Amino acid sequence: MRTRPLKVALLGCGVVGSEVARIMTTHADDLTARIGAPVELAGVAVRRPSKVRAGIDPELITTDATALVKRGDIDVIVEVIGGIEPARTLITTAFEHGASVVSANKALLAQDGAALHKAAEDHGEDLYYEAAVAGAIPLIRPLRESLAGDKVNRVLGIVNGTTNFILDKMDSSGAGYQEALDEATALGYAEADPTADVEGFDAAAKAAILAGIAFHTRVRLDDVYREGMTEVTAADFASARQMGCTIKLLAICERAADGESVTARVHPAMIPLSHPLASVREAYNAVFVEAEAAGQLMFYGPGAGGAPTASAVLGDLVAVCRNKLAGSNGPGESAYTRLPVSPMGEVFTRYHISLDVADKPGVLAQVATVFAEHGVSIDTVRQSGKDGEASLVVVTHRATDAALNGVVDRLRKLDTVRGVASIMRVEGE
């Protein structure tokens, strides 16, 4: 076994970084045995050097991240700063100075994954980022290695813990969105500004990464259709239950039926209670993968948090260090299929539409005609009415999202339709 240690520099020492440093210290012997050489924490770049960081030698702390990645003696950079800059420049500088990189940065990978992979390859370095999607859940490695001999057709994931906590709370307690969000905030599951989570930005970045890896192509954040879950109501959950469903915010990556294009999207959707994703509770994440030979797989676990994310980072760190010792590299970007990403309008989905309608004869016929005119086939209709008001719940068969959108636009213009109470896609069947 080699005795000269591999030198690791940590960029960022917040919730995740401090756990990485802690585990590197407390489990040093295990890491040494598994890597085949000791690893040494050689520097930690932080913004606030005055903060006391238990277990980290103060000598290692610096505010000059650029100087740290340029040192030249660093073998692996662990980037847990997040955001686009300065993370992007630091990572490319690290490659230029002979370091491989382990990153947990979903935003950066979703936006600039291709360029970063190229930079890594140009310099013969590794870029690993298991922690960028679904925290501790092994997902990147299974998709790009375990399923490397298979053809993935679909990825359906609960990849944001905050929104799953909120939706689970709404489902189990009948709470409205705001009430459930308040509870999530009080318990630390939601940030003070929850926009990135509840509007689906976080999930969209993960969808872009997953779609690219699953389909061996390039999918950027801009390619991902995104709808948040702030408009999901208690009434939607009641409707879902009547259909034997619950509601989840899903990241959905699909290969088109003809195999010639892919789609990636994030939106709330009804899924049957019998689907394995339906029973994913609280802030847990889970990703359901459908592959041609493997069939249906699911990966479940904590999608965030310091220790779980650190677990994913350290798994990558061990792999990258082993590669460094062997003088080899792990799998780089695999984007050879160059499949185009189709817009949302071309996605085939099913809609669940709740309408408030006039309680008089002929309304259903009128509504049904609109669906027919747009070539959208109706699966089920449920009517209920009292006191001159009535509601109509229509669930469609699969049609393009554009056609379904056209139906809804037209329904809104009918005199007999007082309002469209809710529209929700139905998935997982």
- For the annotated catalytic residues, the residue numbers are 206
| Bridge partners for 419 per DSSP | 356
User: Angle at the Cα of 163 (from 161 to 169), degrees rounded to 5?
Assistant: 100
Q: Which residues contact 419 (CB under 8 A, 6 or more apart)?
A: 355, 356
Residue 28 or residue 364: which is nearer to a second copy going by CB? 28
Residue 126 or residue 401: which is nearer to a second copy going by CB? 126
Report the alpha-carbon distance of residue 227 to residue 13 in Å, rounded.
32
Closest to 218 in 3D by CA, of 116, 102, 346: 116
What character string, x for contact with a second copy (CB under 8 A) and - otherwise, covers 149-168? Answer: xxx-----------------
Nearest approach in angstroms of CB 206 to a second copy is: 17
Among residues 100, 311, 342, 391, the one that binds a second copy under rule CB under 8 A: 311
Q: Determine if 322 is a binding residue for a second copy (CB under 8 A).
A: yes
Residue 307 or residue 420: which is nearer to a second copy going by CB? 307
Report the alpha-carbon distance of residue 226 to residue 309 in Å, rounded.
25
Q: Enter the tokens of residue 342.
A: 């189709």
SS3 (DSSP) at 157? strand
SS3 (DSSP) at 31? helix
Q: Determine if 377 is a binding residue for a second copy (CB under 8 A).
A: no
Q: Which span (59-67, 144-152, 175-183, 219-227) binds a second copy, by CB under 8 A?
A: 144-152
User: Angle at the Cα of 246 (from 244 to 249), degrees rounded to 5?
Assistant: 150
Q: Enter the tokens of residue 33.
A: 């045995």
Q: Beta-carbon neighbour count of residue 30 at 10 Å? A: 12
Among residues 52, 54, 186, 326, the one that binds a second copy under rule CB under 8 A: 326
Q: Enter the tokens of residue 128.
A: 């690993």
Q: Determine if 145 is a binding residue for a second copy (CB under 8 A).
A: yes
Q: Determine if 350 is a binding residue for a second copy (CB under 8 A).
A: no
Among residues 209, 249, 312, 347, the one that binds a second copy under rule CB under 8 A: 312
Q: Which span (61-69, 153-161, 327-335, 413-421) binds a second copy, by CB under 8 A?
A: 327-335
Q: Beta-carbon neighbour count of residue 318 at 10 Å? A: 18
Angle between helices 28-35 and 15-26 (to 10 degrees): 80
Q: Determine if 387 is a binding residue for a second copy (CB under 8 A).
A: no
Q: Determine if 305 is a binding residue for a second copy (CB under 8 A).
A: yes
**β pairing state of 76-79 and 100-103:** parallel
Q: Determine if 331 is a binding residue for a second copy (CB under 8 A).
A: yes
Nearest approach in angstroms of CB 229 to a second copy is: 23
Q: Determine if 256 is a binding residue for a second copy (CB under 8 A).
A: no
Among residues 106, 216, 255, 425, the one that binds a second copy under rule CB under 8 A: 216
Instruction: Find the binding residues for a second copy in span 33-62 (CB under 8 A).
Output: 33-34
Among residues 297, 347, 394, 404, the one that binds a second copy under rule CB under 8 A: 297
Residue 2 or residue 27: which is nearer to a second copy going by CB? 27
**Greatest C-alpha distance within the chain:** 85
Among residues 9, 77, 314, 353, the one that binds a second copy under rule CB under 8 A: 314
Closest to 251 in 3D by CA, of 168, 373, 171, 159: 159
* Total interface residues for a second copy by CB under 8 A: 58
Instruction: Find the binding residues for a second copy in span 71-130 (CB under 8 A).
Output: 130
Report the alpha-carbon distance of residue 151 to residue 215 in Å, rounded.
8
Q: Enter the tokens of residue 211.
A: 């779609």
Contact 410, 374 (CB under 8 A): yes
Q: Determine if 210 is a binding residue for a second copy (CB under 8 A).
A: no
Q: Which residues bind a second copy (CB under 8 A)?
A: 19, 23, 27, 30-31, 33-34, 130, 136-138, 141-142, 145-151, 216, 276, 279, 291-302, 305, 307-308, 310-319, 322-323, 326-329, 331, 334, 336-337
